[in-house]
Amino acid sequence: MIIGLGSDITNMERIAASLERWGDKFTARCFTDIERAKAARRPFTAVGTYAKRWAAKEAYAKAIGTGFKRGVFHKDIGVVNMPSGAPTLALTGGAAERLAELIPDGHEALVHLTLTDDHPWAQAYVIIEARPL
């Protein structure tokens, strides 16, 4: 059963302005080490890489119904790739705790994520599914 749905669209130019103004302070506060390493390997598309991940974090915060409250922080929501290459989320701290609160007994959480971009926009959708064990 679907227990959460969230979407977000982010302007890449806004992310570029934050990167220019705040640099490492912004990326260290909002992105995981894995996300920062991926962006570093993509110097010509780093802004898009960060923008898609920002959209994913926002979409997840909407899907769990709290936004960035109740101990949920941007850095607790990390975009990672499954062995197939498909994106998904690695959750820690308040983001993981909130997800656990939503999952009924006898179920496991599955987080589905899709990312796309077309300059100047980056977009993400998150679907949270509770699947019976």
C-alpha closest to that of 115 among 37, 36, 60, 61:
60
| Tens of pLDDT, residues 23-80 | 899 999 999 999 999 999 987 889 999 999 999 999 999 999 998 988 999 999 999 9
C-alpha closest to that of 119 among 60, 18, 49:
49
The CATH code belonging to domain 2-132 is: 3.90.470.20
- Does the structure show a pLDDT above 90 at 107? yes
pLDDT at 133: 93
| Tens of pLDDT, residues 81-102 | 999 999 999 999 999 999 999 9
